[in-house]
A and B are shown apart, each in its own frame.
Chain A
Amino acid sequence: MIDIALKDFRAKKGRAAMCIVGVMACVLLIGTVNLVLYEMESGLEGDLGTVHGKLYFEKNGTGFPPSGSIISENLGNEVMNRSEVNPDKSTKALFMPIQNDNFSGYTMIVGLTPGREETFIENVKNVTVEGKGSLVGESDNSVIIGSQVAENFNATVGSTITVSNHKYKVIGIIKQIGTGWPLTIDNSIVMQLSHAQSVMEMPNLISTVIIVPQESIDVAEIDLQNAYPSYSIYSQNDTRKTLEDNLSQIKIFFNMISAFIFAVSVILIMIVMMMSVKEKTKEIGTMRAIGTRKRSILALIIYESLILSLIGGIIGIILMSPTYNMLGLLMGAKEVNFLSFYIPTPILIQILMIVFIIGTFSGLLPAYIATRISPIHALRYE
């Protein structure tokens, strides 16, 4: 019956084209949305790296990045001197987001104790710094910047950028983390803590203490929390939860869009297939009259719907990668190769399942209706 379904759909090109375009649009939209989510999840692993093996001591309920937390530097010093804290690797830090009129998105000023830059950026997957990775021995106006900042300011190592009316010399650029989606570290301008406090007019104030524990991170977290019950000891697990909470809202939104697109697709193809069954009433009646079984009629309609879905799905999958790249370009990705065909296997499997489900579901009702056609009435149908 597959060959009959193919011949049938070739004979009704207009109807077939409508179905194919419908499925293609569905796959393209759902696929691209899922690809974006997948990449965001992968990219956020980069952010998770900034807190891996570390604790963030901050004002209660702040989260990550801790830009909303303000604590006194004295308290920070007290924390730094505790036995659970490795003073040689931990650092006080000030996080402060700033807006820039020249580009959209935010830039994060990160003030750190010179020599402790790695505490902020270490453990991040594949992190490399072009130029210098440390502020030790550098002047107050020296900064290490993230890749997104470098792009926004069109900066290179050695160039000068102006932030909040201050000129800074770029001594290092942290190479892009993740897969093209801007992350905290990509948007950071790392400078000396004392200078950050000065330009942000926050003397003796910090956002957090980034703690590298002396021994067990879990023990340190519990001990510090017990010692400072009105403050948060933020760990990688908390960060993951925050990031996942944020992502889950985006996921819910995108999944609702996907579900809507899916439903529209199924209904569209179902309507077209219903029209097809209606048009073919006489043919189906003839087939039934000459001895075609109901299950063969059922198979014929479902095959037709599956073939159309599959063709639309394949075209959608082919167009998914360039569409995603285009979206990435609009969202600020730097390196986009429109000729690349990048679809992770889980997404591909998911899309193929969607195509299969669309094909089957949209064909089921029309196929069932087709099997209910009485040959006597169908033969009289004009």
Chain B
Amino acid sequence: MKDLVKGQELWKTYKLDSTEVHALRGLNITVDEGEFVSIMGPSGSGKSTLLNMIGGLDTPTKGKLYIGGKETSSMKDKELTKMRAKDIGFIFQTFNLLPALSVLDNVEFPMRNLTNGEKLDKSSRIQRAEECVDIVGLTPRIKYLPAKLSGGERQRVAIARALVNNPKFILADEPTGNLDSEATANIINLLHEVNDQGTTVIMVTHDLDTAKDTKVMKIRDGVIES
């Protein structure tokens, strides 16, 4: 299988006043296409930093990170933005839906971010968004604003939003962190279904149960332990 994400000797160093803080210390990671990877680790271990790098929101201080074969540290902001729009689907712990937009509009929104040539016309975008809303089982709530939905439903909308551009992989940052156990089970099942369809999933989680049936990578003090 092809490497989708490959990090070699990744370092991330922040300066706090005159002190240097190393969030990542020569971390190596490889995620193959089609995998469901769970990144686990205690707070401050570097999980979020790693996730931000893989998501093209941050770049390493040292080392090389390849996403889909492209080295990201040399990419300009424009290219990273384009990559995030096309290749990555984000799922956040706090859902991060746009509150003024309906379920359908939230799901449709990322398709507006595609550049010319990839961008669909409005009716095709609506059709595709409706398909994704259907996949997550929220068609009856398609016109609702996020405020009218439960936590589990909001996260399902976020999953639909992440899927809508057919990304190379989905990045889920503690997607069940704000959900009850029933909703957690539903969301994890949904992510597995998405993974079964061929989409790579990289998930950060604290919960061993949610990481069941996934490839677990433990991170501690800025390096992968196992």
Answer whether residue B156 sits at the interface, using C-beta atoms and an 8 A cutoff: no
Instruction: Decide if A291 touches B96 in the complex (CB within 8 Å).
Output: no
- Using A290-B84, A290-B161, A293-B81 as known contacts, say yes or no to A376 and B110 having CB atoms under 8 A apart: no
Known pairs A293-B78, A296-B113; A7 contacts B84 (CB<8 A): no
**Distance A231 CA – B88 CA, assembled complex (angstroms):** 88
Contacts of B114 in A (CB 8 A): 291
| In the bound complex, CA of A366 to CA of B102 (Å) | 25
Distance to closest chain A CB from B83 (angstroms): 8
| B57, A290: Cβ atoms closer than 8 Å | no
Is B101 interfacial (CB-CB < 8 Å)?
yes
Shortest CB-to-CB span from B166 to chain A, Å, is 13
Q: Does A111 contact B (CB under 8 A)?
A: no
CA distance A29 to B58 in the complex (A): 49
- Tell me the complex Cα distance, A294–B82, Å: 11
Q: What is the 8 Å Cβ interface bit string for chain B, positions 46-88, against chain A (1 contact, 0 not)?
A: 0000001001011000000000000000000110011111101
The complex places the Cα of A346 from the Cα of B57 at a distance, in Å, of 50
B105 touches A7 (CB 8 A): yes
Interface residues on A, range: 20 to 34
Residues 276-299 of A at the B interface (beta carbon under 8 Å):
282-283, 285-294, 296
**Do residues B99 and A291 form an inter-chain contact, with CB atoms below 8 A?**
no
A178 at the interface (CB under 8 A from B): no
Query: What's the Cα separation between A296 and B84 when bound, in Å?
Result: 15
A81 to chain B, nearest CB (A): 85
Contact B57 A376 (CB under 8 A): yes
Taking a contact as CB atoms under 8 Å apart, the answer to whether B52 and A376 are in contact is: yes
CA distance A375 to B100 in the complex (A): 19
B-side contacts of A286, CB under 8 Å: 92, 96-98
Residues of A within 8 A of B113 (CB): 290-293, 296
| Nearest A-chain residue to B78, judged by Cβ | A293
- What chain B residues lie within 8 Å of A82 (beta carbons)? none
Distance A376 CA – B161 CA, assembled complex (angstroms) = 19
- Residues of B near A291 (CB, < 8 A) are 81-86, 88, 110, 113-114
Q: What separation, in Å, do the CA atoms of A291 and B52 have in the docked complex?
A: 13
A336 to chain B, nearest CB (A): 44
Minimal beta-carbon separation of B30 from chain A (angstroms): 24
Is A289 a contact partner of B55 (Cβ separation < 8 A)?
yes
B109 vs chain A, min Cβ distance (A) = 7
List 6 A-B pairs, minimum CB-CB distance, nearest first: A291-B85, A11-B100, A291-B113, A286-B96, A291-B84, A8-B100
9 sample A-B contacts, Cβ–Cβ < 8 Å, listed by A number:
A4-B105, A4-B109, A7-B105, A11-B145, A291-B85, A291-B86, A293-B78, A296-B112, A376-B58
Chain A residues with a Cβ under 8 A of chain B: 1, 4, 7-8, 10-12, 282-283, 285-294, 296, 375-376, 379
